[in-house]
């Protein structure tokens, strides 16, 4: 029996990945702040879905995760799909700090809790949705791109620590380009906008093939490879939104 926990399953990519894993026979523990969408997912396969209300920004979130895992009977895959992001050209302090609280503090809180659980229970697979935004600092979304870079580095560090400690924990860092989900809000002009269902399918395939880092899709693999080669003096003069 394959058991997966998904944090951020109420909408967007988390919701689509949940649906795909259910189709693949997983028993699921799903969590998010809003419980109503989770109950709708549970109705698809009530005997294979356990739900929990969980806010990654709260100190008690790891305890809620462990309670969910206990009810599920264990965890083979931990899939993290929670996050926030906004363009912030005015550098509104509330937006910046809320993004850091969710994408950095919340991410560290939950990925760390999953890592500690797997370290004590024979290993497992940790997959997390970060973003191509972590490739370079984006002036239109400073805290968002910074926290995504932090997520990339944190997963890389934990992967190394797992190897140093000889822990059987696998990591997959999923880095989609711009995806048409509620996270983007009312900004339909993003370049190379990706379809949610297609991205979710590619994410599941990347997890199944145990990719370490996977940029979605091929166009964004080319774009980010080029971004990395742009010198700093030129990057700061570009109008990237």
Can you give the pLDDT at residue 195? 86
Can you give the pLDDT at residue 107? 98
Can you give the pLDDT at residue 185? 52
Average pLDDT of span 212-237: 94
CATH assignment, 3-235: 3.40.50.720
Percent of the chain with pLDDT over 70: 94
Can you give the pLDDT at residue 178? 81
3-state class (DSSP) for residue 73: coil
Q: Which two tokens stand for residue 22?
A: 């259910």
- CA separation for the pair 232, 133 (Å, rounded): 16
- CA separation for the pair 102, 107 (Å, rounded): 7
User: Does the pLDDT value for residue 124 go beyond 60?
Assistant: yes
Segments making up each domain of the chain, as ranges: 3-235
pLDDT tens for 25-79 read: 999 999 999 999 999 999 999 999 999 999 999 999 999 999 999 999 999 999 9
pLDDT tens for 167-192 read: 999 999 999 988 765 555 555 566 67
Q: Are strands 213-216 and 27-32 parallel, antiparallel or unpaired?
A: unpaired
Q: Measure CA 109 to chain center.
A: 13
Average pLDDT of span 116-120: 98
Single pTM value for the model: 0.94
Percent of the chain with pLDDT over 90: 87
Can you give the pLDDT at residue 184? 52
The total of other beta-carbon atoms located within 10 Å of residue 239's CB is: 6
User: Does the pLDDT value for residue 232 go beyond 90?
Assistant: yes
Can you give the pLDDT at residue 183? 53
Q: Which two tokens stand for residue 224?
A: 């980010």
Can you give the pLDDT at residue 216? 92
Cα dihedral across residues 109, 91, 199, 212: positive or negative: negative
């Amino acid at each position: 029996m394959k058991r997966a926990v998904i944090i951020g399953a109420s909408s967007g990519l988390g919701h689509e990945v949940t649906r795909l894993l259910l189709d693949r026979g997983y028993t699921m523990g799903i969590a998010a702040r809003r419980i109503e969408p989770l109950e709708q997912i549970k109705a698809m396969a009530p005997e294979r879905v356990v739900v929990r209300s969980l806010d990654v920004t709260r100190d008690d979130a790891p305890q809620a995760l462990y309670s969910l895992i206990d009810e599920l009977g264990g965890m083979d895959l931990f899939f993290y799909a929670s996050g926030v992001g906004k363009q912030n050209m005015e550098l509104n302090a509330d937006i910046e700090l809320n993004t850091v609280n969710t994408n950095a503090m919340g991410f560290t809180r939950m990925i760390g809790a999953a890592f500690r659980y797997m370290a004590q229970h024979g290993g497992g697979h940790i997959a997390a949705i970060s973003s191509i935004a972590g490739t370079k600092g984006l002036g239109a979304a400073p805290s968002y791109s910074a926290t995504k870079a932090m997520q990339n580095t944190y997963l890389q560090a934990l992967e190394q620590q797992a190897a140093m400690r000889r822990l059987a924990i696998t990591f997959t860092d999923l880095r989609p380009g711009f995806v048409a989900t509620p996270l983007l809000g009312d900004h339909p002009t993003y370049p190379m906008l990706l379809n949610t269902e297609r991205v979710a399918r590619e994410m599941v395939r990347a997890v199944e093939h145990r990719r370490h880092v996977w940029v979605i899709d091929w166009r964004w693999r080319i774009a980010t490879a080029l971004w990395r080669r742009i010198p700093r003096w030129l990057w700061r003069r570009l109008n990237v939104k």
